[in-house]
Amino acid sequence: MNDWSPRTRAIAAGRPAGAGKPLNTPIVPASTFYAGGDHTYAREEGTPTWTALEEAVGALEGGKATSFASGVGAVAAVLDLFPAGAQVAVPTFSYAGTRGLLDHAAEMGRLKVRRIDPADTAAWAVAAEEADLLWIESPTNPTLELIDIAPLVGHRARVVVDNTFATPLGQQPLSQGADIVVHSATKLIGGHSDLLLGITVTADDALAEELVHARTRTGATPGALEAWLALRGLRTLPVRFAEQSKSAALLAERLAEHPAVTKVAYPGLGTMIAFELPDAEAAAKVCESLELIVHATSLGGVESLIERRAMWPGDAHVPAGLLRFSVGLEDPEDLWRDLRNALG
Ligand SMILES: *Cc1c(COP(=O)(O)O)cnc(C)c1O
């Protein structure tokens, strides 16, 4: 398994083995199991369907995976490991749901939160020495800024990386020394906009056990169907990611040349583009004028989605004319025609 490429692991990891076994892990809708085996009560040790998904994601990220009801459920479980008064550093522009959880914890007096500009490497270095937890997104949602992980590990703070945008195909933070990787499998891992699911992965066995306990405590357990769908989605992640990234690179290049577009952020890898129009009105008009690209929130599916992020209260500080564009699996020339028409 270890010398297989990620593309092969995505296909073969977590697959049942043995004569007469089904090729695909069954959907096991069970809350409890006969006593004396690996599983007792589903909220405690999970179900065979979760286990198969966890084995596959763990094989890609290089650690032990734990699945949760949603990405935010996984984020909350990680934060649950830190004691009252812990200091957390988070990028100024980063996933609004994570910042919402952190702001709430700060308001309730549980955590101390510092927001740091992703580009301020000096401030991140200071936080690595002073804080208890660095919450890293790279690329960030929705501005697609990058944070260099390697210089931030091995200091006082634990390092958690939300790897939703890069996926394990783009980067494996555990191999760079990060303590925990978090995924919203709702996005690229699932890949079909048909489920909610979150995952944590860590190479530290004690930490992995703590995360399972956090799931048991908080009850943020995935559904049997969702875990099965996420594993089914994961099987094609490498080809989807490669193809959608290729289209994203092409479209980012064309957007950068378009006179109506004032700025394009595309870090060179991945399926997401952030681009700006002069103001909220111009950006909203593009969303309304598209025919093929769907005006909707979320990302990472086979269908292209676009939205103006600043319309959400949690992202009100994002540039008003910024559009977050999730590039799907459609023909990129059809996507470009749609964009060009909408840009006018
Ligand atoms: C969507 C998202 C989440 C939250 O995941 P849900 O599955 O919606 O709960 C966390 N982090 C990032 C970067 C996301 O895009």
Q: What is the CATH number of the domain that holds 256?
A: 3.90.1150.10
Question: Residue 58 maps to which CATH number?
Answer: 3.40.640.10
> Does 106 share its domain with 212?
yes
Count other Cβ atoms within 10 Å, centred on residue 275: 27
Strand order of the β-sheet with 111-116 is 64-68, 198-202, 180-184, 158-162, 133-137, 86-91, 111-116
> Does 228 share its domain with 303?
no
Is 1 a member of any domain? no
**3-class secondary structure, 335:** helix
The pLDDT assigned to 12 comes to: 96
> Does 219 share its domain with 269?
no
Is 22 a member of any domain? yes
The pLDDT assigned to 269 comes to: 82
> Does 62 share its domain with 38?
yes
The pLDDT assigned to 190 comes to: 98
Tell me, in angstroms, the distance from the centre of ligand 1 to residue 317's CA.
18
Count other Cβ atoms within 10 Å, centred on residue 209: 13
Is 160 a member of any domain? yes
> Does 221 share its domain with 250?
no
Domain end marker among 201, 235, 269: 235
Tell me, in angstroms, the distance from the centre of ligand 1 to residue 17's CA.
32
> Does 149 share its domain with 257?
no
In short, whether 191's Cβ falls inside 6 Å of ligand 1 is no
> Does 136 share its domain with 276?
no
Is 157 a member of any domain? yes
Domain end marker among 235, 264, 290: 235
Ligand 1 atom closest to Cα of 140? 13
> Does 33 share its domain with 130?
yes
Tell me, in angstroms, the distance from the centre of ligand 1 to residue 235's CA.
20
* H or E segment and range at residue 322: strand 322-326
Q: d(Cα 83, Cα 62) in Å, to the nearest integer?
A: 27
Is 205 a member of any domain? yes
The pLDDT assigned to 2 comes to: 72
Q: d(Cα 302, Cα 272) in Å, to the nearest integer?
A: 12
Q: Which residues are catalytic?
A: 43, 95, 162, 187
CA-proximal residue: ligand 1, atom 5 (nearest): 71
* Low-confidence residues in the chain, pLDDT < 50: none
pTM: 0.97
The pLDDT assigned to 225 comes to: 98
Domain boundaries, position 159: 6-235
Domain end marker among 199, 217, 235: 235
> Does 93 share its domain with 199?
yes
Tell me, in angstroms, the distance from the centre of ligand 1 to residue 301's CA.
13
In short, whether 167's Cβ falls inside 6 Å of ligand 1 is no
- Ligand 1 pocket, mutate which of 68, 95, 146 (most atoms under 8 A from CB): 95
> Does 17 share its domain with 153?
yes
What is the number of structural domains in the chain?
Answer: 2
In short, whether 193's Cβ falls inside 6 Å of ligand 1 is no
Is 280 a member of any domain? yes
> Does 189 share its domain with 289?
no
> Does 158 share its domain with 243?
no
Is 193 a member of any domain? yes
